[in-house]
């Protein structure tokens, strides 16, 4: 017996309606068994070590949580797309993650330059964006969807100047990228110096992040005869500048903000890095007296199969802990709104020796800044 066409049409309509209701019942990125978190990061190319450190730090903690049963019975799945440190690719990745893959939230982009193109997409779809790896001022302007986990570059750069002030040092130079974020770094150093009635004696701006003119920049800096050179560039450019400065006989002290990552910079420089000062925004990844560091070391060894400790992967590990805590507080039926409300109510959340605080009108979770000095054998002194 044939089913009437009208009846088939009604059945199809009912199925579509049921499907639509089911889709509405589950927020983007969430189903009965998993929660999707999206990331765009440089997993290949000149900044690959930084990107992979960020990814591995998050995966290390998510693995711990998943092996213990997940969050309210759901496993956390990190979808990482490679952007090769290219802004157009990072923007395309964000569109794919949000509009095609339907992730619940974004996490751990590797810089302000890669993060800023994501903001219109984040705002359009009301997607939480947690722990972009940057202290740049443009990313710290309040945005109800963006949650910064770390101190600002301005705080780091002031700390560097403050370190040298008691030593009577007055001649500072700065190396930066000639873009929105780089110019903010220049302004931050100028502000820190102005507080002490000083000005930079020379500056060098790299117009091309991919192919910086290291030799030309060094000539510009050397013209000012600085006592200290403050670098705010990626680890390869920073290392190339420091090596060439040493070869040229420049006797200035070298200092960097956290942007290149202390561990990747130390590896890139090798023995030539000894004495370089680097600002850090998390405790030392070797300080096992802190519960979070002890936990992190165990988990990162499981994730990478080696004792690949770094400031970057520890920072990401801490960020992942905050994400999981917010998901727990959001309850067994998590929505993006419940997740952001949980973050907004997070006051002095102690991850194990490092605290994070958010509020509805303040999404900058920490002002922790310390200075470290690259020592021998890729070790750090504090």
Distance of CA 203 to the CA centre of its chain: 26
Is the pLDDT at 130 greater than 90, yes or no? yes
pLDDT of res. 292 = 98
Is the pLDDT at 53 greater than 80, yes or no? yes
Q: What token pair was written down for 35?
A: 């929660």
Closest to 234 (Cα-Cα) out of 47, 363, 6, 37: 47
Domain boundaries, the chain: 34-150+287-366, 153-257
Give 22 or 244, the one with higher predicted confidence: 244
CATH class held by domain 153-257 = alpha beta
Write the pLDDT tens digit of every residue in 34-45: 999 999 999 999
Supply the pTM of this predicted model.
0.88
pLDDT of res. 24 = 46
Query: To 5 degrees, how large is the angle CA 107–CA 154–CA 112?
Result: 30
Beta strands at 355-356 and 129-130: parallel, antiparallel or unpaired: unpaired
Give the orientation angle of helix 262-269 with respect to helix 311-330, to 10 degrees. Answer: 160
Task: Report d(CA 115, CA 8) in Å as an integer.
Answer: 49
Of the pLDDT bands very low, low, confident and very high (cuts 50, 70, 90), residue 10 is low
| Other beta carbons within 10 Å of 287 | 15
pLDDT of res. 6 = 56
pLDDT of res. 58 = 98
The backbone torsions φ and ψ at residue 259, rounded to the nearest 5 degrees and listed phi first, read -50, -45
Of the pLDDT bands very low, low, confident and very high (cuts 50, 70, 90), residue 46 is confident
Judge: domain 34-150+287-366, CATH 3.40.50.2300. yes
Return mean pLDDT, the chain. 92
Cα dihedral 207, 213, 214, 217 in deg (nearest 10): -60
Q: What token pair was written down for 138?
A: 């443009």
Write the pLDDT tens digit of every residue in 133-191: 999 988 999 999 999 999 999 999 999 999 999 999 999 999 999 998 899 999 999 99
Write the pLDDT tens digit of every residue in 86-104: 999 999 999 999 999 999 9
């Amino acid at each position: 017996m044939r089913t009437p066409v009208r009846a088939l049409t009604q059945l199809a309509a009912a199925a579509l309606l049921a499907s639509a209701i089911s889709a509405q019942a589950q927020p983007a990125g969430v189903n009965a068994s998993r929660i999707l978190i999206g990331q765009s990061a440089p997993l290949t190319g000149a900044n690959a070590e930084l990107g992979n450190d960020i990814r591995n730090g998050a995966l290390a903690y998510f693995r711990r949580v998943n092996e213990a049963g997940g969050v309210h019975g759901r496993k956390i799945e990190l979808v990482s797309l490679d952007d090769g440190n290219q802004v157009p690719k990072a923007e395309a990745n964000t569109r794919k993650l949000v509009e095609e893959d339907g992730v619940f939230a974004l996490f751990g982009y590797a810089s302000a330059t890669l993060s800023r193109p994501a903001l219109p997409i984040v705002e359009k779809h009301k997607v939480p964006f947690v722990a972009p790896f940057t202290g740049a001022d443009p990313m710290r302007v309040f945005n109800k969807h963006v949650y910064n986990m770390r101190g600002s570059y301005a705080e780091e750069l002031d700390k560097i100047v403050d370190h040298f002030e008691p030593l009577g040092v007055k001649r500072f130079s700065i190396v930066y990228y000639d873009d929105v974020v780089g110019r903010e770094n220049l302004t931050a150093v100028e502000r820190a110096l102005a507080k002490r009635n000083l000005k930079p004696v020379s500056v060098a701006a790299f117009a091309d992040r991919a192919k910086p003119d290291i030799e030309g920049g060094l000539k510009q800096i050397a013209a000012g005869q600085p006592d200290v050179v403050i670098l705010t560039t990626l680890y390869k450019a920073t290392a190339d500048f420091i090596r060439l400065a040493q070869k040229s006989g420049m006797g200035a002290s070298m200092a960097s903000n956290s942007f290149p990552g202390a561990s990747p910079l130390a590896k890139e420089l090798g023995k030539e890095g000894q004495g370089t000062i680097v600002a850090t925004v998390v405790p030392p990844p070797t300080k096992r007296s802190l519960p979070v560091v002890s936990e992190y070391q165990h988990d990162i060894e499981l994730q990478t199969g080696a004792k690949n400790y770094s400031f970057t992967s520890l920072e990401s590990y801490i960020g992942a802990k905050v994400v999981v805590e917010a998901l727990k507080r959001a309850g067994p039926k998590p929505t993006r709104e419940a997740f952001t409300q949980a973050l907004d109510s997070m006051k002095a959340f102690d991850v194990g020796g490092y605290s994070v605080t958010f509020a509805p009108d303040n999404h900058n979770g920490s002002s922790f800044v310390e200075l470290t000095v690259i020592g021998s054998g890729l070790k750090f002194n504090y």
